[in-house]
A = this chain, B = another copy of it.
Amino acid sequence: MTEPRTLLAADLDSQTLRVVRAIADTGSITAAAARLGYSQPAVSQTVRRLEQRLGMPVLTRVPRGALLTEAGDILARHAATVLRSIDSAAEELAKLAGLRTGWVRIAAFPSASSTIVPRLIERMSADYPGLRFRYIEAEPPEAVQTVRDHTADIALTFSYPGDPDDPHGASAAGLTATPLWREDMILILRRDAGAGLSPDASPLALDSLAGAGWIAGCPRCRGHLLHLCAAHGFTPSIDYETDNVSAVLAMVEAGLGVALLPSLALASVPLPANVVARHPATPDSRTVHLVSAEASHRVPAIAATIAAIDALDTSAWGLATARS
């Protein structure tokens, strides 16, 4: 004769409620067991355990089945609410799993904003109409930081060869950084500036521009330019600094200098008539990376987005698959 301690909500788990509800619906333990896919004793014992936890009977056994007691009625009534809520939770989760809902937050560098990102989101939205997206434009270090602090799920970054703080530095945390594409660096100069140097569309020796004025962009891009020129034996005179690609082109067009731009930056703005793009004689490139939290790969919407990034056709932007 165990002392019936005070009732705890912990005594009521959803499994038990499911059983009570099945009995209420079917009117017998045996039928409830059949409906739930259990053996009859399983249900019988579940009820018995419940009853001894509650300290009072939940159902009265009658010759052809079982009737709920008042306590059983209470349980069955609330079971409806509980199970309905659990079912709808399961349904929402199934929608997440089935990519019929979900958010994906993306961070990327400026020149991706007008190329890769819109194409990606367009594609994903077409394939999975339920998914929603957020986008934050950020330079690589900040973009990685957004992933690290869970402000974004996915970051697109770039790194120059030999870059000390390239995105791989992030992999120490739970982050992964995988190279996506190799992006050619292209020299931008006024048509007449390079006129005497070599035929129009052919590669151009970098050091032939040693004496030119230079227009540079973000700090890391400027750093790369300095590094690259040093390897070619000169120090560029960087006279103008701007991140703005249109501004760079206008400056070049105005004859203020030359620039070294990644091909993505050129993909979304038309080249002014008397401005030309020439590959350096010794090819130069940077690499676009995808940075994401390891754990997030199990989030269906994020995994699908990553897959879509991999599947993007980037040939129009001058991107080549990265060999890592």
Contacts and interface: CB of A to CB of B under 8 A. Distances in A.
A11 B97 CA distance: 14
A74 B94 contact: no
A35 interface: no
Interface string A52-64: 0011110011100
B81 A85 contact: yes
Please tell me the size bucket of the interface on A. Answer: 35 or more
B295 A57 contact: yes
A89 interface: yes
A245 interface: no
Nearest to A54: B93
Interface stretch (A65-73, A162-170, A256-264): A65-73
Given A74-B93, A75-B89, A86-B82, A295 B60 contact: yes
Interface string A154-176: 00000000000000000000100
A271 interface: no
Contact of A150 (B60, B75, B103): B60
Binding site secondary structure of chain A: helix
A11 B4 CA distance: 30
A83 B8 CA distance: 12
A300 interface: yes
Contact of A82 (B85, B102, B299): B85
A103 B74 CA distance: 13
A74 B96 contact: yes
Interface of A: 4, 6-15, 17, 51, 54-57, 60-62, 67, 69-71, 74-75, 77-79, 81-83, 85-90, 92-94, 96-97, 102-103, 149-150, 174, 293, 295-296, 298-301
